[in-house]
Chain A
Amino acid sequence: MLKKWAFFIFSLVQIVWLAGCTEKSLESIERDQNFIASLNIQEPSLDFIDEQGNVIATWLFDKAYSGAILLGQDHVLLYGHQLNEIDVYTLSTGKKLYSKKVQVGTTNAYYVENKKQFFITNSKTNTVTSFDEKGNELATQKLGNYPMSMAANKDKLYVINYKDTKLSVLNIDNLKVEQEWPIQKSSHGIAILEETNELWIGGHGEGSKPNSTVKKYDLTTGEEHGEIEMPLMPVGLTKTKDSVLVVSHGHNKLYVADFDGNVKWQLEVGANPFVVNQFKDYIVVAGYDDHTLYFIKEGQVKKTVDVGNGAFQLLVREE
Chain B
Amino acid sequence: MRKISTRILLLIFAFLMITVFFMYVLTDYLYERLYVEDTREMMVEVGTKLQTMYTSGKVTDEFIADIEHYANYSNLNIFAVRNPRELSACVPFDIDYETLIGPEERQQLLAGEYVQKIGYEPRFDRKLISVVLPLVDQNRLEGIIYIYFPLVKISELANNEVIFLFVSAFIFLIVISFLIYKGIRHIMRPLSNLQRAVEQMSYGNYGTRVPVHSKDEVGKLSSTFNKMAEAIQQEDEAQKTFLATVSHELRTPISYVKGYSEAIQKNIIPENQKEETIQLIVREANRMERLTNELLQLARMENEQAEITLYPIPLAETLREVQKILTHQAKKKSITLHLDVDDALIIKAEEVKLKQIIINIIENAINYSYEQSKVEITAIENNGHAQITIKDYGIGIPQEDLSHVTERFYRVNKARGRADGGSGLGLSIVEQLLKQLDGKIDITSEVEKGTVVKIMLPLMEE
Contact = CB atoms under 8 A, between A and B. Distances in A.
B216 interface: no
Contacts of A233: 84-85, 89-90
Contacts of A235: 93
Interface in A261-319: 271-272, 274, 287-290, 292, 310, 312
A251 B58 contact: yes
Interface in A166-207: 186, 188, 204-205, 207
B92 A205 contact: no
Contacts of B96: 163
B140 A272 contact: yes
A204 B90 contact: yes
Contact of A310 (B84, B92, B94, B97): B92
A162 B95 CA distance: 10
A146 B92 contact: no
Interface string B50-86: 0000000010000000000000000000000001111
A72 to B, nearest CB: 26
Given A271-B138, A289-B139, A188 B84 contact: no
A208 B97 contact: yes
B314 to A, nearest CB: 115
Given A207-B97, A271-B141, A272-B140, A288 B84 contact: no
B110 interface: yes
Nearest to B57: A268
Interface string B307-344: 00000000000000000000000000000000000000
Contacts of B83: 208, 210
Contact of A287 (B58, B92, B139): B139
B80 to A, nearest CB: 15
B92 A271 contact: no
Nearest to A290: B139
User: Interface size bucket, A side?
Assistant: 20 to 34
A213 interface: no
Contacts of B93: 162, 188, 204, 235
B139 A250 contact: no
A204 B139 contact: no
A310 B89 CA distance: 12
Interface string A229-250: 0001101000000000000011
Nearest to A312: B92
Contacts of A186: 95
Contacts of B92: 41, 66, 274, 288, 310, 312
A250 B84 contact: yes
A208 B140 contact: no
A272 B107 CA distance: 12
A183 to B, nearest CB: 16
Interface residues of B, number: 18
B233 to A, nearest CB: 97
A204 B84 CA distance: 10
A209 B84 CA distance: 10
Contact of B85 (A188, A205, A272, A289): A205
B141 A232 contact: no
A66 B86 CA distance: 22
B141 A146 contact: no
Nearest to A41: B92
Given A210-B85, A272-B89, A163 B94 contact: yes
**Chain B CB within 10 Å, residue with most, of A186, A188, A272:** A272
Contacts of B95: 186, 204
Contacts of A205: 85
Contacts of B89: 233, 249-250, 272
Contacts of A232: 84
A289 B94 contact: no
Interface in B94-120: 94-97, 110
A167 B93 CA distance: 18
A123 B86 CA distance: 24
B84 A249 contact: yes
Nearest to A206: B97
B101 to A, nearest CB: 13
B86 A272 contact: no
A90 interface: no
Given A271-B139, A271-B140, A289-B110, A162 B94 contact: yes
A272 B141 contact: yes
Contacts of B97: 207-208
A146 B85 CA distance: 19
A130 interface: no
A17 to B, nearest CB: 28
B195 to A, nearest CB: 79
B90 A249 contact: yes
A252 B94 CA distance: 20
Interface in A201-223: 204-205, 207-210
A211 to B, nearest CB: 9
Contacts of B85: 204-205, 207-210, 233, 250
Nearest to A107: B94
Nearest to A251: B58
A288 to B, nearest CB: 7
Given A163-B96, A249-B90, 17 more contacts: A186-B95, A204-B93, A207-B97, A208-B85, A208-B86, A210-B84, A232-B84, A233-B84, A249-B84, A250-B85, A250-B89, A251-B84, A271-B110, A272-B84, A272-B140, A287-B139, A290-B138
21 contacts: A146-B94, A162-B93, A162-B94, A186-B95, A204-B85, A204-B93, A208-B86, A208-B97, A233-B84, A233-B89, A235-B93, A250-B85, A251-B58, A271-B138, A271-B140, A272-B89, A274-B92, A288-B92, A289-B110, A289-B139, A292-B139
Interface of A: 41, 66, 107, 123, 146, 162-163, 186, 188, 204-205, 207-210, 232-233, 235, 249-252, 271-272, 274, 287-290, 292, 310, 312
Interface of B: 58, 83-86, 89-90, 92-97, 110, 138-141
In the complex, the 6 A-B pairs of residues with the closest C-beta atoms, listed nearest first: A290-B139, A250-B84, A271-B139, A271-B140, A210-B85, A204-B90
